[in-house]
Amino acid sequence: MQTTKDAIVVTGAAGFIGSCLVGYLNDKGYENIIVVDDFSRSDKAINLEDKKFSHKVERDQFFDWLKLRKDPVGFIFHIGARTDTTEFDYEVHRKLNVEYSQKIWNYCTAENVPLVYASSAATYGAGELGYNDDHDVITKLKPLNPYGVSKNEFDKWVLDQKSHPPFWAGLKFFNVYGPFEYHKGRMASVIWHSFNQIKKDGEVKLFRSHRPDFKDGEQLRDFIYVFDVLKVCFWLMQIQPASAIYNLGTGKARTFADLVGATFSALGLQTNIRFIDMPEDIREKYQYFTEANMKKLRDAGYNDKFYSLEDGIRDYVQQFLVKRFPPIFTK
């Protein structure tokens, strides 16, 4: 059981999910937090404003820093990764998503530190084998891009290890959205992009379908609000159920048209969608359907309900986006 006196490490702490996790831990009374990231990007600095932590450590210096540390580390959330699915240089992903993660694992194993790390639904590729988080399926998966390959390579490596932390969990994040993703550019959620397009043009552009079995706007994804992700992370730290790789989505796929409609609705506006061709560089590597099988996490004892798409988007838009970036448009 985690206690407030033990330090908690959060890697990727200046990023989207990592910074949200630091804030969530603060709300739960945890301030002895070691934040780890590449802090050279000034556009991410705002993500840690008003958040409390005890140490700030550069990602490349983290392991040397740990060797000099005398106080114990009680838990590690390894959220940091190169997450750009349009970065096709595998070496970039291998270094950060595989090798760095292996060093985190080995430290946790040697020092007896529980670990939760971020995997991804990108490991499932086109979903030929479904979206079940059974360990025997992981070696058979065929991700569509180098990012997904790197995440799956680490998952496979983890399952091959004979030595492991006292508790560990890999979380296959599905499509996470929410506050503090503002720095992510092209990789930010469709809600963030929709909000900005509505603000600027009064319409939202969605990718046209390039498959006959999906109508335009009816591509399906499992969208999960970041606050549900944080609740699961915190529950895993507190309860430490069976060590495993777990899916983390809502278990219910929704269309991009639904998502955009909910964004317009949160702003009190009528839906206005224009379809555009999908960029050719991602056209052959695009997931048309994802839906997390959540049975394993539920069987492990996690019983809280997830936000519906409409409720999550309403909260994100009204409590964060509108307050931080007030739209100027005529209804």
As a whole number of angstroms, the distance between CA 183 and CA 40 comes to 13
DSSP 236-262: HHHH--S-EEEEES-S--EEHHHHHHH
CA 157 remoteness from chain centre: 20
Eight-class DSSP state of 289: B
283, containing H or E segment? helix 280-283
Distance between alpha carbon 246 and the CA centroid of its chain, in Å? 13
- Residue 187's φ and ψ, nearest 5 degrees, are -90, 0
CA 49 to chain centre: 20
Q: Looking only at Cα atoms, what is the longest distance across the chain?
A: 61
Report the alpha-carbon distance of residue 129 to residue 289 in Å, rounded.
Answer: 12
Cα separation, 156 vs 133, in Å, equals 12
Q: Which of 124, 135, 131 is closest to 168 using CA atoms? A: 135
Cα gap 248→179, rounded to integer Å: 18
Distance CA 174, CA 74 (A): 27
Residue 51 identity (one-letter amino acid)? K
Residue 40 CA to residue 37 CA, distance in Å, equals 9
| Residues classed as catalytic | 147, 184
